Amino acid sequence: MNIKVILATREVLFGELLSSYLEQSGISVLNTVHNCSELLEKVQEQVWSIDLLLIDTYLPPYGGSDVAQGTLQLNPKVKILLMSGDDVSTIPKDKRIGYISKHLSCSEILVWIREALRGRRVIARQIPEFCMDSGPHYCPSSITPRERDVISLMVQGLNTKEIAFELSITSSTVETHRKHIRKKTGFSSPLGLARFAQSYGLLNRN
């Protein structure tokens, strides 16, 4: 079965990373959009081709919930998962609409997508790692220039050996940097780290 998805998120980097992972996992991402107008346009064009919508709860300018309800009126068979990064969002009253946390890893999001497509109502929350580990104590200046290099490559999905090659350092040195990054930011997964790094301006621009 060729699963077709539309991804709607206000965070461009998050969308790029998740879209790339889903495509590599055999899911067709028809479109990645960043506001309600774009989403409405794509939904209307492809409403009978879509299997699932992943929609940011806070999609500008008025949020994804209304678009979700409108889509279900057009095609009640579409599966819908709202996404949020705060995990305090109100769970949709409509039981046809599920919820997943943006703090989940790509692989975890994929699992819940498949559960939703099986007809299960998904509610998947997760306490952000930085709330447990760094939170308000985090200081951007604590990240060294080399750690920024490693972060920028991690969020691109490179593994330890690939990062070592790109930076001309040893794999053990990369692992040391990764441990420091995990300790300082509270994040280890590329998806969670990407959102965190983008928020604090930690990504190098080539």
What is the per-residue pLDDT across 41-63, written as a single tens digit (0 to 9) for each?
A: 999 999 999 999 999 999 999 88
In Å, what is the CA distance from 123 to each residue of 6, 104, 168?
Answer: 19, 12, 43
Q: State whether 182 and 106 are in the same domain.
A: no
pLDDT at 158 over 60: yes
Is residue 205 situated within a structural domain?
A: no
**Residue 33: φ, ψ to 5°:** -120, 165
Q: What is the pLDDT of residues 179-204, one digit of tens each?
A: 888 888 777 777 778 877 777 777 77
Query: When comparing pLDDT for 107 and 134, which is higher?
Result: 107
How many Å apart are CA 32 and CA 9, to the nearest integer? 8
- Coil/strand/helix, residue 95: coil
Task: Tell me, yes or no, whether 28 and 102 share the same domain.
Answer: yes
Could you report the per-residue pLDDT of 64-98, keeping only the tens digit for each?
888 999 999 999 999 999 998 775 556 778 889 99
Contact, 53 vs 8, CB < 8 A? yes
What is this structure's pTM? Answer: 0.69
Give how many domains the chain has, as a whole number: 2
> In this structure, are 72 and 48 located in the same domain?
yes
In a domain, 137, yes or no: yes
- Residue ending a domain, among 124, 140, 155, is 124
| CATH code of residue 175 | 1.10.10.10
pLDDT digits (tens, 9 = 90+) for 109-128: 898 999 999 999 998 876 54
Range of the domain at 84: 4-124
